[in-house]
Structure 1
C-alpha cells in the first residue's frame, strides 16, 4: 500500500541527490551547452523524470523482457560514465552527435541524470521504501535538476573559465571513481 512519510522522502531524496549528482555535473552541462549551443532544460528534466518513474515501476520487468539483468545494465552504465569522466579529465571529445541541435535527451536526461546508477538505485530503493515516497523524492530532485540546468550559464559566469576547469577535472575524477565503483559492485554479478 501507500504511506506518505516525510522521513522516507528526505532519505530517498538525499540518496537520489547523491547518485544524480547534478551539482557535480555542472561542468558537463556547461560543456554540452558549449558544444550544442543550448540545452532545453524543461525537456531534459521532464524526460529524466519520465525515465526514472517508468523505470521505478517497470524497470526490472523491462530488463528481464529484453534479456538484460540489472548487473549488466549497471556495468554498461559504468562504461558511459567512464567515458564522460575521461572527456572531463583529459579535455578530449569522445561523445559526438553532430546532427543533434541540443543535448537535452542524450547524454543529459539519459545517462547523466537518469543513468544506470540512478536506475539501479531506484530498483534497490523500491524494495525498502513506499513507492509514493520515492516518486515524490524523484520529483523534488527533478525540480532541483531543472533549476541547475536553467542557471548553468549564470553558474558558469560566476565560476569563470579557470574555476570551471578546476571543477571539471575534479568532478571528472569523482565521476571516474563512481564509474569504477559501479563497475566493481556489479561485475561480479555477471559471472554468477
Structure 2
C-alpha cells in the first residue's frame, strides 16, 4: 500500500469516527422535527459549512494558535468534555425533543443552533479538531495536505446528506422511537464526554504527581 493511500484511509476513517454523522443525527432530528425541508436544509448546510471552515482553520493554524494563546490540546479536551457531558444529560432526559420556536424567530433559531451546538462542538468537536491538527502536522508534502483537506470536505458532505435524511427516520421512528434513540445516544455522548475529560486531565495529574515526588 502506498503512503498516499494509507494517508487517505487514515484521514477518512479517523474523521468519520470522530465526527460520527449517525451520532449527530438523533439530535438534529429532534431539534428540527417541527420545521419544513427548506429550514432543515439551511440549518444543515450552515452547520456543515461552519464545521468545514473550523476544521480547515485549526488544521492550518492550530499549532500556531495554541502556542500564541498558551492553550494546550488537553485543555481543549477538558472543556469539550464538560460541554458534551451537559449536552448528553439533556439528551438522556429527552429535553431536546420538544423544541418549538415562534415563526418570527425561526431564522434566529437556525443561526443559533447551526453554529452551536451543531457545528461546534457536536460535528466539529475536540476530537475532530485535534485530529485535523495532528494529521496536518503528519502530512509530509503538499499532496498529503491536499488529501487531508479533501477528506474533511468529503466527510462534511457525507454528514450533510445524513442530516438531510434525518426527517425520514423521524417519521419512521415516531416520537417514542426518537425519545428512546435520544436517551441511548445521550448516554453514549456522556461516556464520550468522560473519556475526553479524563484524557485531557490525565497529563495534568501526571505532571502534578511528578513534581510532588
**TM-score grouping bracket, smaller chain normalisation:** 0.7 to 0.9
Structure 1, residues 18-58: CA drift from partner, whole Å, max 9, x if none? 11111012111123224888442211111110000111111
Unaligned runs of 5+ in 2: 208-213
The answer to whether the 8 A contact 2:73-2:130 is kept is yes
Give the structure 2 partner of residue 81 of structure 1.
84
Aligned residues: 187
- Superposition RMSD in Å: 2.4
Segment of structure 1 superposing worse, 141-150 or 163-172: 163-172
**Matches of 2:153 and 2:81, distance apart in 1:** 24
User: 1:67-146 counterparts in 2 under 5 A?
Assistant: 67-92=70-95, 100-102=108-110, 103-129=113-139, 130-146=144-160
Please report the TM-score for the alignment, with normalisation by the length of structure 2: 0.78
**Matches of 1:35 and 1:111, distance apart in 2:** 23
Is 1:187 equivalent to 2:185 in the alignment? no
Q: Highest CA radius of gyration, 1 or 2?
A: 2
SS at match of 1:25: helix
Please report the TM-score for the alignment, with normalisation by the length of structure 1: 0.86
Structure 1, residues 80-102: CA drift from partner, whole Å, max 9, x if none? 11111111112346xx9x87321
Q: 1:151 to 1:5 in 2, by over 3 A?
A: same
Which structure dedicates a bigger proportion of its chain to helix?
Answer: 2
Is 1:159 equivalent to 2:173 in the alignment? yes
Displacement of 1:188 after TM fit?
2.0
Segment of structure 1 superposing worse, 71-80 or 116-125: 116-125
Displacement of 1:127 after TM fit?
3.7
SS at match of 1:101: helix
